[in-house]
């Protein structure tokens, strides 16, 4: 940088001046502070202490105000998850109570706790047979409890609900074998039903009938992550010869090792539930008939593995199960909260949009064009932030609305065009009055602002003004197009001469 001589002299003089002023101020401040201090020392003690206390309070207040102004506060709902592994009954109860007070439907979460209480009261151990469709879960249960009326079918998806079968091992423990729908079928909801039941059980018997698929491996991993004691059961071993079976078991052991040996190697067994097979039987007179036969079962190692896992986990089994159910209840609560937020945000956005439309319809003079910085925009932003657990400073809200307002200018022509077109689509509206088009256009902008804010808040969990307003700008045309019918209907409802 080249400065001419005169400028340099001026700058030098300025620097000198600043230093002289700073030194002077410093001297002055020190002198007055020492003066005051001397006088305080001579005065009564109470005055001294009182003076110091007031000074300290003033400094603390100043720091607090600066903190509030500069540091962004946020309550991140997602942060709760980090402590989830230590989730206790009291925690989940408190969360449910809070959510209920906020208007969330807590029925599903509460039902989980009730189901847990009744299982605790019965004292039975729940073993859940879990796995992809047609791996032979029902057949395994039938092999363990031959008298039970278990549905087995060649066609996958034969089990569509949850069934419990009473079984006593040699020790006489009260055990319930749970049959659940197979996963990876057509109906995603069945996967959900099965997974939830697995989470409610004490032990999961994960049934496969060959090498683990990627999805199966993921399912095993997530059950182990939830702290579920697990036995990996390779069923239909009769379909493989000794060499094939050995190779397969080796592959499965490698999978267990890949998972960091969280499942011990003796938790893997190969069995044959038997299942049923249709054979053609020829009678003496030569007539042929198809008869259903039971293949012989070979499940001795499974019974041993079950007894071992029950022995190993014995003491901590209930505690682990309870914790898994608390997590399940917490997940259900989180789902209900998310649903509540969607519904409530819709109401908030609708109400703000309606006010914008009404305001615009009622405006007598053109030029009341301050769109979103006013009361309606502020209230909508505050309410949406609160709903998503973000607690922005007032300044952030103001900054966000300012930035968004400046971006609206470019979107207004589009909004007007879309509004005009949208209104024409309504039968009987005929020639559309300018005021109505304006009202719809303004409503559309509020609608877009609200929807974009919801996306931003659910993505980031907080309101960062520049990010939020940028995301608003990026999505505005899409939101305007998507909202036109809704907002036009609203405006036609509100139109005074309607």
Ligand X SMILES: Nc1nc2c(ncn2[C@@H]2O[C@H](COP(=O)(O)OP(=O)(O)OP(=O)(O)O)[C@@H](O)[C@H]2O)c(=O)[nH]1
Count of CB atoms situated within 10 Å of the CB of 258: 11
Kindly tell me which residue out of 138, 345, 415, 456 binds Mg ion, with binding defined by CB under 5 A.
Answer: 138
**Residue 178, helix vs strand vs coil:** strand
CB neighbour list of residue 210: distance below 8 Å, 6 or more residues apart: 234, 236, 248
Q: How far apart are CA 285 and CA 254, in angstroms?
A: 54
The listed partner (ligand X, Mg ion, none) that binds 313, CB under 5 to 8 Å by sort, is none
The listed partner (Mg ion, ligand X, none) that binds 133, CB under 5 to 8 Å by sort, is ligand X
Kindly tell me which residue out of 77, 157, 227, 435 binds ligand X, with binding defined by CB under 6 A.
Answer: 157
For 123-202, where are the E strands, in sequence order? 125-131, 163-168, 174-179
Terminal C-alpha separation, the chain: 69
Q: Which is nearer to Mg ion, 138 or 469 (CB)?
A: 138
Q: How far apart are CA 182 and CA 190, in angstroms?
A: 7
Kindly tell me which residue out of 92, 99, 132, 159 binds Mg ion, with binding defined by CB under 5 A.
Answer: 159
Q: How far apart are CA 134 and CA 181, in angstroms?
A: 9
Q: Which is nearer to ligand X, 94 or 188 (CB)?
A: 188
Contact 446, 353 (CB under 8 A): yes
Q: Report, in Å, the least distance between residue 182 CB and ligand X.
A: 2
Q: How far apart are CA 357 and CA 359, in angstroms?
A: 5
Buried (b) or exposed (e) across 112-138, using 16+ Cβ within 10 A?
Answer: bbeebeebeeeeebbbbbbbbbbbbbb
The listed partner (Mg ion, ligand X, none) that binds 39, CB under 5 to 8 Å by sort, is none
Phi, psi dihedral angles at 153 (to 5 degrees): -150, 145
Count of CB atoms situated within 10 Å of the CB of 313: 18
Q: Return the range that interacts with Mg ion (CB under 5 A); candidates 38-46, 138-146, 261-269, 433-441.
A: 138-146
Q: Is 153 in the site for ligand X (CB under 6 A)?
A: yes
Q: How far apart are CA 137 and CA 182, in angstroms?
A: 8
β-bridge partners, 217: none
The listed partner (Mg ion, ligand X, none) that binds 153, CB under 5 to 8 Å by sort, is ligand X
Kindly tell me which residue out of 91, 221, 276, 318 binds ligand X, with binding defined by CB under 6 A.
Answer: 276
Q: Which is nearer to Mg ion, 158 or 353 (CB)?
A: 158
Q: Is 182 in the site for ligand X (CB under 6 A)?
A: yes
Beta strands across the sheet bearing 203-208: 163-168, 174-179, 125-131, 203-208, 230-234, 268-270
Which of positions 277-296 make contact with ligand X (CB under 6 A)?
A: 295
Q: Return the range that interacts with Mg ion (CB under 5 A); candidates 64-72, 101-109, 154-162, 426-434.
A: 154-162
Q: Report, in Å, the least distance between residue 297 CB and ligand X.
A: 7
| Phi and psi based region of residue 394 (left: phi greater than 0; alpha: psi -120 to 50; beta: remaining) | alpha
Helices and strands of the chain, counted as H and E runs: 14, 8
Q: Which is nearer to Mg ion, 159 or 235 (CB)?
A: 159
Q: Which is nearer to Mg ion, 126 or 323 (CB)?
A: 126
Q: Return the range that interacts with Mg ion (CB under 5 A); candidates 132-140, 216-224, 336-344, 453-461.
A: 132-140
Q: Which residue is nearest to ligand X (CB)?
A: 182
From residue 113 to residue 152, what is the string marking binding to ligand X with x (rule CB under 6 A)? --------------------xxxxxxx------------x
Q: Which is nearer to ligand X, 4 or 243 (CB)?
A: 243
Nearest to 441 by CA among 349, 345, 353: 353
From residue 225 to residue 264, what is the string marking binding to ligand X with x (rule CB under 6 A)? ----------xx-xx-------------------------
The listed partner (ligand X, Mg ion, none) that binds 345, CB under 5 to 8 Å by sort, is none
Q: Which residues sit at the interface with Mg ion, rule CB under 5 A?
A: 137-138, 158-159
Which residues of this protein are in contact with ligand X, per CB under 6 A?
133-139, 152-154, 156-159, 181-182, 235-236, 238-239, 272-276, 295
């Amino acid at each position: 940088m080249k400065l001419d001589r005169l400028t340099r002299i001026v700058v030098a003089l300025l620097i000198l001046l600043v230093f002289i002023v700073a030194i002077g101020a410093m001297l002055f401040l020190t002198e007055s502070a020492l003066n005051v201090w001397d006088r305080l020392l001579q005065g009564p003690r109470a005055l001294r202490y009182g003076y110091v206390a007031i000074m300290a309070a003033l400094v603390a207040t100043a720091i607090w105000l600066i903190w509030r102004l500069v540091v962004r506060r946020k309550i991140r709902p997602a942060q709760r998850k980090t402590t989830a592994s230590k989730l206790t009954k009291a925690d989940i109860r408190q969360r449910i109570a809070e959510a209920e007070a906020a208007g969330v439907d807590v029925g599903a979460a509460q039902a989980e706790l009730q189901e847990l209480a009744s299982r605790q009261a019965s004292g039975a151990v729940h073993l859940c047979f879990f796995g992809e469709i047609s791996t032979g879960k029902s057949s395994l249960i039938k092999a363990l409890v031959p008298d039970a009326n278990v549905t087995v079918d060649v066609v996958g998806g034969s089990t569509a609900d949850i069934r419990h079968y009473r079984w006593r091992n040699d020790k006489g423990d009260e055990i319930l074998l749970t049959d659940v729908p197979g996963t990876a079928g057509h109906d995603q909801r069945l996967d959900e039903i099965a997974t939830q039941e697995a989470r409610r059980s004490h032990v999961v018997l994960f049934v496969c009938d060959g090498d683990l698929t990627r999805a199966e491996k993921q399912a095993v991993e997530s059950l182990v992550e939830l702290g579920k004691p697990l036995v990996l059961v390779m069923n239909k071993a009769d379909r493989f010869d000794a060499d094939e079976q050995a190779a397969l078991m080796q592959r499965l052991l490698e999978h267990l090792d890949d998972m960091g040996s969280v499942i011990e190697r003796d938790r893997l067994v190969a069995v044959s539930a038997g299942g049923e097979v249709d054979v053609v039987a020829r009678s003496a007179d030569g007539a042929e008939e198809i008869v259903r036969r039971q293949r012989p079962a070979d499940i001795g190692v499974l019974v041993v593995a079950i007894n071992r896992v029950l022995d190993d986990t014995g003491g901590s089994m209930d505690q682990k199960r309870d914790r898994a159910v608390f997590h399940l209840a917490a997940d259900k609560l989180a789902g209900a909260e998310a649903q509540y937020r969607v519904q409530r945000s819709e109401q908030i956005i609708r109400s703000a949009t309606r006010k914008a439309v009404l305001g615009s319809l009622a405006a007598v003079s053109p030029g009341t064009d301050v769109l979103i910085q006013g009361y309606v925009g502020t209230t909508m932003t505050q309410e949406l932030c609160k709903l998503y657990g973000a607690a922005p400073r007032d300044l952030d809200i103001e900054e966000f609305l300012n930035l968004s307002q400046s971006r609206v200018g470019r979107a207004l022509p589009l909004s007007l065009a879309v509004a005009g077109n949208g209104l024409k689509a309504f039968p009987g509206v005929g020639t559309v009055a300018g005021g109505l088009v304006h009202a719809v256009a303004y409503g559309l902008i509020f609608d877009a602002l609200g929807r974009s804010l919801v996306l931003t808040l659910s993505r980031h969990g907080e309101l960062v003004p520049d990010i939020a307003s940028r995301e608003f700008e990026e999505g505005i045309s899409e939101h305007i197009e998507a909202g036109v019918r809704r907002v036009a209907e609203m405006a036609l409802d509100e139109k005074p001469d309607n």
